[in-house]
Amino acid sequence: MKLYFSRNPNPRLAVAVARFLKTDISFEFAAPMAPGQSERYLPLNPNLLLPILQHSGRTLWESDAIACWLSRHAGSNFWRTDDEEPDMIRWISWAKENFMKACDIVHWERGTKLRYGIGPCDDTMVAEGLSQFHKAAVILESELSGRPWILGETISFADFRMATFLPFNDAARLPIEDYPAIRHWSDRLDQIEAWRDPFRGLDAPCPPPLPN
């Protein structure tokens, strides 16, 4: 069983899940879109995107599907299979269209574009992303104010998925400090080694630094 990954947000998420669940798996740093690499990776994922999980003679792609498979393989309720599953899926879906989406907009402008020389930061898009972030953060803050994790007393994949972009906040500079419950929730996640440093001990070249 092998997980192909990079240091980008979604592959990082998959690695964090695998290490959190203590999966017996090998990890391979990959760059499917690098020159000369597409022929190798097209049979594994026709989208040429990471992460990719290779197991039992087949491949699985998309981070949420991989997290689901890894949790079931581990016999864990990290991906809920009980009556909380619909609630977990609700928050995963909401995150992608709201909180994560806003984080992604800002991180793309302040982080990815500058790191890889794609173009200058678009302040209009940053402002739009921050506006969406505040709207989503108000809702998430209210939900987290009375409990440690999104589904209550026990962590689930919804927490990892919601926080996908927070490890990159050194670049995005999202105003997490304005929302105490979100900040405390993020701090709790950072106490989990698999989340805080999923690449520990792996061959995982660092991305280019942000320009000064």
- Structural domains in the chain? 2-78 (3.40.30.10), 85-195 (1.20.1050.10)
C-alpha span between 85 and 112 (Å, rounded)? 33
| β-bridge mates for residue 60, sequence order | 53
Mean residue pLDDT of the chain comes to: 97
Is the whole model's pTM more than 0.85, yes or no? yes
Query: Is 21:37 a contact under the CB 8 Å cutoff?
Result: no
pLDDT score recorded for residue 97: 98
Structure-block tokens of residue 162 = 């919601």
> Residue 2 has what DSSP assignment?
E
pLDDT given at position 212: 79
Taking the C-alpha atoms of residue 210 and residue 96, their distance in angstroms, rounded to an integer, is: 26
Q: In what order do the strands lie in the sheet with 58-61?
A: 26-29, 2-5, 52-55, 58-61
Give tens-digit pLDDT for 148-169: 999 999 999 999 999 999 999 9
pLDDT of residue 154: 97
- The segments of the chain whose pLDDT lies below 70 read none
